[in-house]
Structure 1
Amino acid sequence: MAPRPWSHGHVVAIVEAVCAVVAAGYLVVIGVSAEVEGTAGRSAFDRGLPFLAALVVLALLGRWAVRSWRTAERERAHHQPGHREPGRVELPGTGAAGQAGAEPSGDGSIHDSPRDEQPEVRPTLSGPGRDAVAKVVSVLADAEIFRPQVPDPRLLEQAVADHGEPVTVQAVLAALHEADYWNPGFRFDDHTAALAFHDSHVEQDPGSLRHQIDDLARLTAGEVAIVAGDIDVEWVDGVRAARTRVTLTVGGERLALDYLGTAKQLSTVIPVAVARTLRGLPDGKRPTRRLAWLWSDQGVWITVLPAGVDLARLDADLGDLLEAGVGWEWVDEQQPMAAGEE
């Protein structure tokens, strides 16, 4: 069956592009109108501000639109007839035989030989960009965020380049999802036993909420058991909110959560409640690791770190590779956000 020409991701990209043009156009109209009314008492900066704002809005929203379109195209490519599921590729120097036909490319990344179908255009990073990817991987590896294996940064470079420079921690983490498109054989699960990603804009139905709880259970497995119970989502008449009721057990403690969620906007009531319960368990049952998270414009990355880790030091080690104003946080110290109550 032929793939659909348009997906939800394509529609999102088009909406973002239209918003970029409309918003920029509105600001230009404001600037032109002000010029028509007269410039007396206005500095050159005041006169140019609407036009500068229009350029910034167009660049920012336009970049989001391009990123959404590329993501949709990658997802469609994965569902094309004949698309080959990735196998394992061994890195040079490991002493193990690689996948048949796998060979290093000229830029140091690993992919299948030219006889296998590959993307025609392979994005590349600048030298400083490659160094930034390597630094992010090194810092997060030292914090034990990549488990059971640390990814080779070369295998992430093209996925990060697809996001664009400057390189950010969030882009490197997102590349874990996308690296297998550029390097068939890259295995997401090899590096994310201590990581979970919760999308900010995904169906918040019982199945999705159960998956979120299962992620938290996976992260704490071996120390504390987390088990999902009943999950019920009921739409509230006349409003966009959904009454959400969730029961679960955390280390034997039963939680009953009741909050207003929405159809497609992530709430953080569940992870915050779980994190606080973990920290409140008595000695002997309390885990040695705490839930921590890092937000991006697409959602939140959740991990488990030793309770004594200095998150300020971790952020300092990452420096300006973190997106502005965003850093690692202990989940149990945050206020829960119910999307339907915002």
Structure 2
Amino acid sequence: MLAALIRLWRRSPVVVYAIVGAILAVIAFAYVPFPPGVKPLSQAFVALLLWVFASCCVTGVAWAIETVALLARWIGGKGKAPAARPLRHAGPLPELSAGKQPQVRRAVKLLSEAGIFREKLDPAMLYPGVAEREARVKPDIVFEALVEATYYHPDFDAAPYRANLVLHETQVEQPEAYLIAQIADLARLSGGALAIADIAVEQARRADTRTVDTRIAMTVNGEPVTLAYPGEDKYLSTVLHHDLATRLRALDTGQRLEWRWTDAGPWISCLADGDVERLNEAFTLKPSTPCRWEWIDCEAPIAAGAAAHSLA
């Protein structure tokens, strides 16, 4: 239950705020001293008010924490941008324990067999990045270590190993340029099966909210497509991902778009039918486990601004 709630929060935090608000409202409702003769309809109205009030309080607290954290970082840096990280690591490389090295090699082998890494990758290139995290070796740790491999090995080129792997960050601005880049990523991952052209994005922020009404018009394999949904200015919506993944599956090429959600967002690849199930089994990722691989076409699309609007 907790794992599912955390996973939902990563995609649409406002929905979680509403759920937590409902839980608090139920607790508060149990202590409301209704006088004799109060009708059930009146009690239901009070319960609704408690839920709205509690949800707004939870949302306010969450935003306040985020604001305080940003302010603390600003004060800590005296209002200046943090110093840029050096282009390369200086000194001895972080050493990965002998016990974890086989785990990295196994993870790279499994990811390569599934086609996420389409070029032969030397696992040793990832050892410093994995060692720096001091965390259990999981696929997302491997992906992050790949991104940082050039920091430790300046001559290393990560691009060939990311040809079938992309991260779509969720808690960042979602402007037109980023949405167009997401479309380009998904088209590239499809290996040309999704030919997308004539892209036009329109966005309009609703007054006094973080909801951004978004309309995407494009041509997919010669067919005009229009997607319209309430987005959120700093959270990823997945309406676009679900639509293109569903269209790719309908082409019956044997390839489908999949993702694996992390705190930063989903890591996305295009794999053959059955690979998601095999990867989950190989990495012992059960249905209750956060960060499982999932087929995007099987996941319900999320309009990040829809939940926020429903509470307005």
TM-score grouping bracket, smaller chain normalisation:
0.5 to 0.7
Compared with structure 1, are the counterparts of its residues 222 and 277 closer, same or farther at alpha carbon in structure 2 (3 Å cutoff)?
closer
Compared with structure 1, are the counterparts of its residues 74 and 332 closer, same or farther at alpha carbon in structure 2 (3 Å cutoff)?
farther
1:127 aligned counterpart, secondary structure: coil
Aligned positions of 1:8-23 closer than 5 A: none
Match of 2:93 in 1: 122
- 1:4-36 Cα offsets, whole Å, 9 max, x none, are xxxxxxxxxxxxxxxxxxxxxxxxxxxxxxxxx
Match of 2:116 among 145, 154, 168: 145
Unaligned ranges ≥5, structure 2: 1-72, 74-80, 308-312
Name the amino acid aligned to 1:257: L
CA contact (8 A) 2:280 2:286 kept: no
1:191 aligned counterpart, secondary structure: helix
Aligned positions of 1:1-342 closer than 5 A: 76-78=84-86, 83=87, 118-120=89-91, 122-147=93-118, 149-227=119-197, 229-281=199-251, 286-307=252-273, 309-319=274-284, 324-342=289-307
Give the aligned CA root-mean-square deviation in angstroms.
Answer: 2.6
CA contact (8 A) 2:114 2:275 kept: no
The alignment's TM-score, normalised by the length of structure 2, stands at: 0.67
Specify which structure has the bigger relative contact order, considering alpha-carbon pairs within 8 angstroms and separated by 6 or more residues: 2
Tell me how far apart the structure 1 counterparts of residues 203 and 131 of structure 2 sit (CA, whole Å). 39
Compared with structure 1, are the counterparts of its residues 229 and 134 closer, same or farther at alpha carbon in structure 2 (3 Å cutoff)?
same
Match of 1:100 in 2: none
Tell me how far apart the structure 2 counterparts of residues 273 and 320 of structure 1 sit (CA, whole Å). 26
Compared with structure 1, are the counterparts of its residues 124 and 321 closer, same or farther at alpha carbon in structure 2 (3 Å cutoff)?
farther
Cα distance, 1:239 vs. partner? Answer: 1.2
The alignment's TM-score, normalised by the length of structure 1, stands at: 0.62
Cα distance, 1:333 vs. partner? Answer: 0.6
Tell me how far apart the structure 2 counterparts of residues 221 and 142 of structure 1 sit (CA, whole Å). 18
When the two structures are aligned, how many residues end up with a matched partner?
Answer: 229
Unaligned ranges ≥5, structure 1: 1-67, 84-116
Cα distance, 1:293 vs. partner? Answer: 0.8
Cα distance, 1:244 vs. partner? Answer: 0.8
- 1:208-239 Cα offsets, whole Å, 9 max, x none, are 00000000111113333123511111111121
1:297 aligned counterpart, secondary structure: coil
Compared with structure 1, are the counterparts of its residues 171 and 135 closer, same or farther at alpha carbon in structure 2 (3 Å cutoff)?
same
- 1:109-137 Cα offsets, whole Å, 9 max, x none, are xxxxxxxx742353222222211111110
CA contact (8 A) 1:294 1:301 kept: yes
Match of 2:55 in 1: none
CA contact (8 A) 1:168 1:321 kept: no
1:171 aligned counterpart, secondary structure: helix
Name the amino acid aligned to 1:165: A
Name the amino acid aligned to 2:260: L
Name the amino acid aligned to 2:128: Q
2:201 aligned counterpart, secondary structure: strand
Compared with structure 1, are the counterparts of its residues 201 and 220 closer, same or farther at alpha carbon in structure 2 (3 Å cutoff)?
same
Tell me how far apart the structure 2 counterparts of residues 161 and 321 of structure 1 sit (CA, whole Å). 26
Moved more, 128-137 or 315-324: 315-324
2:85 aligned counterpart, secondary structure: helix
CA contact (8 A) 1:261 1:338 kept: yes
Cα distance, 1:190 vs. partner? Answer: 1.3
1:76 aligned counterpart, secondary structure: coil
- Percent of aligned pairs sharing the same letter: 35
CA contact (8 A) 1:169 1:323 kept: no
Compared with structure 1, are the counterparts of its residues 203 and 277 closer, same or farther at alpha carbon in structure 2 (3 Å cutoff)?
same
CA contact (8 A) 1:273 1:332 kept: yes
